[in-house]
Amino acid sequence: MSTDFKMPECSGFLHQSHLEQLAQPAHEALLELIRSCSDPHVRTTVVTALVMSVWQYANKDNSPIKPSLVLVNTTGKAFDPLMAAMDSLLGRKDKLDKSPHKADAYVGTPDKARQSMHNIVGLLHSKDGQYVDRKAYEDMYHKARRTAYGPGSIHNYSQAWHPKLGLVTGRSNTTALLIEANKDKTLFREHLLNDPGKLSSPSGIGNGLKKVCKSMQVSASLSPSECDNTMVDAIMQLGRPYIILPHLVHDFINIPNVHAVSHCFNMVRPDWSFEVTALPCLPDNNWCGAYQKHLWARLGRLPLSYRYPIIELVHRLENTCDLIAEYAGVMAGGIPADKLTPLKLELYTHSLRGIVLSITGLAWHGLGLDPAYPLTTTRKLLQQLREEGSMSLRDIQRSIGYKTASERDSVIECLSREGLLQAEGKMVTGFTYPDYIRGLGTRHGLPDVPEAFRERDCHHQKTPSNLLH
C-alpha cells in the first residue's frame, strides 16, 4: 500500500527547511498534508484519525459525545505506522514526560507522590465541617499529581489510574489515553470486559478534591486478533462513540510538512474552548446522501447503546471540521472564510467516509448484517472458514448445523455479498482481514471523495451552504 508522503532528509534539530515550514500558513499546511498522498484509502484513514484525535484533545467540555479511536493495525507487526503518524503530528510522546517540574511540583519520587495524593485527599476529608484553605490542599494535590503522572493531558492507559483515587486528570477533568503497549492493552481489556464503568463513566478526584465523573477518550492500536468479537461486543454496550477504524497503512508515513502541521495543532489544542454543536441534518448532496443512506441502514442493525452516540457524533462532525479549519485560518492571520472552504470540505468528506467505512467494517464481526441470520451461527461459520481456509458445502451443513441447504445457502450468499467469503462450486473460502478491508468501499458503492471537492472553485457547485459556512 503506497504511502507516498515525502519528508526532507534532515531530522532532529530544526534546520532551515523546518523553519521555512513554520512560516507556511496553517490552513495551507493542513491542505498540503491531505493532498500529498495519492492513495485514497490512506488519505481517508489519515484524515479521519487526525480529525478524531484533535477532537479528543481540543474540546474542553465534558460532553460524552467525543470520539475514541481504535485503529486496527493490519501490518502484523507491533509498530503501527498510522498511530506513529498521529504521535508525530500531535506531539503526543512529548506530552507523556513524567519528569517533575522543579519550579512547581512535589519534590520526591512518583511512588511517594501517588501516596501523597491519597494522603492529601484523606486529610482534607477528615476536616469536614472545619474551616480550611481548600485551595492550598488542591495546589498540594496537583503538585504531587504532576510528579506522579506528568503535567500533560495525555497519558498511557495503564499509567492513568490511581489505585485508590480512580482516573487521574488535570483540573479540567478530561484526558486522552494512549493504548499501544501490552500492559495498556491488557488493562483496557480487563476494564472493558470486567469493569466497563471505568470506560463509560470514569470517576476520579476533581474540584474540591471530591470524587467527580470525568471525561475520557482513548486512542488505541490493536491487531485484528486483539480486536476480537468479545472486545467489539463490549464496546457496543458502552454508550460511547468508539470509531473502530481498520487501516492498510503498512509503511512508515513520511509527512513533508510535519513541523508546520504539528505546530498548527500544538497551537489549536490548548486554546480550543468552544463547544462542538450538533447540526440538525447532514449536507444535502448526492455524495453525502449515499453515505448517509448506507450509514443509517447499518446503524439500524446495531445495538441502540452504540447507535445513538455514533449518530450524535456524525451530526457534530461538520461543526468540528469547521472549527479546525477556522482555527487554522485564524492562526494563519485572519484568512477569509471563502479561502477555508477547500480545507473544510477535505476534512469533512474524508472523516465522514472514514466513519462510515468503520461502521461497515463491523461486518467482519458479524455485526450490522441482515438480522434474519442469527449472529451466533454466522460467527461460527466465519470462524471456521478463517481457521480452515476452505470448506465444502456439505461440511458447512454438518458442522454449523443448518437445518436445510436453503438456509445454509442464503447465509453464504449474504456473507458473499459482504465480501467475507467466496463460494465457487461446492467450496467456500473465507477472505483474510486485509483483503476484506481493501474492497470495503468499492463493494458497498461508497465512492472516494470527488476530485471536484478539491478544486479551487468547489464553492461554486451546488453544495449546501451549511457545509461551506
The residue type of 110 is P
DSSP 65: -
Do 67 and 55 touch, CB atoms closer than 8 A? yes
DSSP 61: S
Residue-number span of the structural domain to which 211 is assigned: 95-182+196-229
Residues 6+ apart with CB under 8 A from 112: 106
Q: Is 128 part of a structural domain of the chain?
A: yes
Q: How far is CA 214 from CA 67, 161, 206, in A?
A: 15, 12, 8
Residue with cell 470486559: 193
Q: Which three cell numbers stand for residue 443?
A: 463493494
Q: Is 168 part of a structural domain of the chain?
A: yes
Question: What's the pLDDT score for residue 327?
Answer: 80
Q: Which three cell numbers stand for residue 73?
A: 493495525
Give ∠ CA 43-297-424 in degrees, rounded to 5: 80
Q: Is 1 part of a structural domain of the chain?
A: no
Question: What's the pLDDT score for residue 17?
Answer: 54
Q: Is 263 part of a structural domain of the chain?
A: no
Q: Is 44 part of a structural domain of the chain?
A: no
Question: What's the pLDDT score for residue 469?
Answer: 36
Q: Is 152 part of a structural domain of the chain?
A: yes
Question: What's the pLDDT score for residue 90?
Answer: 85
Question: What's the pLDDT score for residue 459?
Answer: 37
How far apart (Å, rounded) are the C-alpha atoms in residues 212 and 215? 10
Give ∠ CA 411-438-441 in degrees, rounded to 5: 75
Complete DSSP assignment for 103-162: TSS-SS-HHHHHHHHHHHHHHHHHTTTS---HHHHHHHHHHHHHHHH-SSSEEEGGGSEE
Q: Is 76 part of a structural domain of the chain?
A: no
Q: Is 90 part of a structural domain of the chain?
A: no
DSSP reduced 3-state for 243: strand
Do 129 and 302 touch, CB atoms closer than 8 A? no
Report CA torsion sign: 204, 210, 213, 219. Answer: negative
Do 245 and 49 touch, CB atoms closer than 8 A? yes
Residues 6+ apart with CB under 8 A from 241: 65, 66, 67, 68, 309, 310, 312, 313
Domain count, the chain: 1
Do 5 and 39 touch, CB atoms closer than 8 A? no
**Per-residue pLDDT in tens (0 to 9) along the chain, 469 residues:** 445 544 333 344 445 555 555 667 778 888 888 888 778 888 899 999 999 998 987 656 566 789 999 999 998 888 999 999 998 888 777 666 555 454 455 667 888 999 999 999 999 888 776 777 888 999 999 999 988 888 777 889 999 999 999 999 988 888 889 999 999 999 999 999 999 999 999 999 998 899 999 989 999 999 999 999 999 999 999 999 999 999 998 888 877 777 777 777 776 565 566 778 889 888 888 899 999 999 999 999 999 999 999 999 999 999 999 988 888 787 656 777 778 888 999 999 999 999 999 999 999 999 999 888 889 999 999 999 999 889 999 999 999 988 899 999 999 999 999 999 999 989 999 999 999 999 998 899 898 887 655 544 333 333 433 443 3
